Amino acid sequence: MSALPPENTDKLPHYVSKEPFDMQSIEKLTPEQEKIYFASQLTLMWWKFRQHRVAVWSGVFLAVLYLSIFFSEFLSPYDMTKRNVKHIYAPPQAVHLFHEGEFIGPFTYPYKVTRNMETLQREFAVNTKKPQKLRFFCRGDKYKWFGYVKSDLHLVCPPKKGSFYLLGTDRLGRDMLSRIIAGARISLTIGLIGITVSFVLGIVIGGLAGYYGGWVDMIVQRMIEVLQSIPSIPLWLTLSALMPATWSPIFVYFGITIILGLLDWTGLARAVRSKLLSLREEDYVLAARLIGASPSRIIGRHLVPGFMSHLIASATITIPVMILGETALSFLGLGLRPPVTSWGVLLNEAQDINVVAVYPWLMLPVVPVIFVIIAFNFLGDGLRDAADPYK
Partner 1 sequence: MRLQSIIAMVASALLVALTMANTSLAGPPDEPRIVDMPALGKTVGKRGGTLRMLMAKPKDIRMMVIYSGARLVSYNENFKLAPDILKSVDVEENRIFTLRIRKGHKWSDGAPFTSEDFRYYWEDVANNKELARGGLSNKLLVEGKGPKFEVIDELTVRYTWEQPNPLFLTVLAGARPLYIYKPAHYMKQFHVKYQDKAKLDQMVIDNKVQKWSSLHVRKGRQYRPENPEMPTLQPWMNTTNPPSERFIFKRNPYFHRVDNEGNQLPYIGEVYVTMSTSAIIPAKTGGGESDLQARYLRFDNYAFLKKAAKTRGYEVYLWRNGRGSQMTILPNMNVADPVWRKVMQDVRVRRAMSLGIDRSEINEAIYFGLAREVGNSVLPSSPLYKEEYAEAWAQFDVDLANELLDEAGLDKRSSDDVRLLPDGREMKITVETAGESTEETDVLQLITEHWAALGIQLFTRPTQRDILRRRISNGDTIMSVWFGLNRGLATPDMDPEELAPVSPLQGTWPKWGQYYETKGVAGEKITLPKVQKLSDLYSQWRMAVSVEKQTEIWDQMLSIFTDQVYTIGIVSSTKQPIVVNKNLRNVPMDGIYAFEPTAYFGQYLPDTFWFDN
Q: Would you tell me which residues interact with partner 1 (CB under 8 A)?
A: 83, 85, 88, 115, 118-121, 171-173, 245-246, 333, 337-339, 349, 351-354, 357-358
In terms of CB distance, is 9 or 246 closer to partner 1? Answer: 246
Shortest distance in whole angstroms from residue 81 CB to partner 1: 9
Burial 78-111 (b: 16+ CB within 10 A, else e): bbbebbbeebbbbbebeeeeebeeeeeeebbbbb
CB of 175 to partner 1, least distance (A): 15
How many Cβ atoms sit within 10 Å of the Cβ of residue 28?
8
Minimal distance in Å, beta carbon 333 to partner 1? Answer: 7
Task: Identify the burial level of 20 via C-beta atoms within 10 angstroms of its C-beta, where 0-12 means exposed, 13-18 middle and 19 or more buried.
Answer: exposed
Nearer to partner 1, 326 or 349 (CB): 349
Closest approach of partner 1 to the CB of residue 119, in Å: 5
Q: Cα dist. 207→47, 225, 289, 298 in Å?
A: 30, 17, 16, 10
Q: Are 336 and 256 in contact (CB under 8 A)?
A: yes
Nearer to partner 1, 94 or 357 (CB): 357
3-state DSSP helix/strand/coil % of the chain, to nearest 5: 60, 10, 30
Contact (Cβ atoms closer than 8 angstroms) between residue 257 and residue 195:
no
Beta carbon of residue 338, minimum distance to partner 1 (angstroms, whole number):
7
To partner 1, the closest distance from the beta carbon of 82 in angstroms equals 11
**173/380 with CB nearer partner 1:** 173
Secondary structure (3-state) at 70: helix
Smallest distance from the beta carbon of 173 to partner 1, in angstroms? 7
Q: Which amino acid is at 171?
A: R
Phi-psi region of 211 (alpha: psi -120 to 50; beta: other; left: phi over 0): alpha
Strand 96-99: give its sheet, edge to edge.
96-99, 102-108, 132-133
Which CB atom, from 83 or from 310, has the smaller least distance to partner 1?
A: 83
- DSSP tag of 30: P
Q: How far apart are CA 337 and CA 275, in angstroms?
A: 40
CB 244, min distance to partner 1, A:
8
In whole angstroms, the minimum distance from the beta carbon of 176 to partner 1 comes to 16
- The residue among 46 and 247 lying less far from partner 1, judged by its C-beta, is 247
Nearer to partner 1, 128 or 354 (CB): 354
C-alpha distances in Å from residue 150, one per residue of 186, 239, 354 = 20, 35, 38
Chain centre distance of CA 260: 13
CA dist 340 and 70 (Å) reads 17
Q: Which amino acid is at 337?
A: R
The nearest distance, CB 182 to partner 1, in angstroms, is: 16
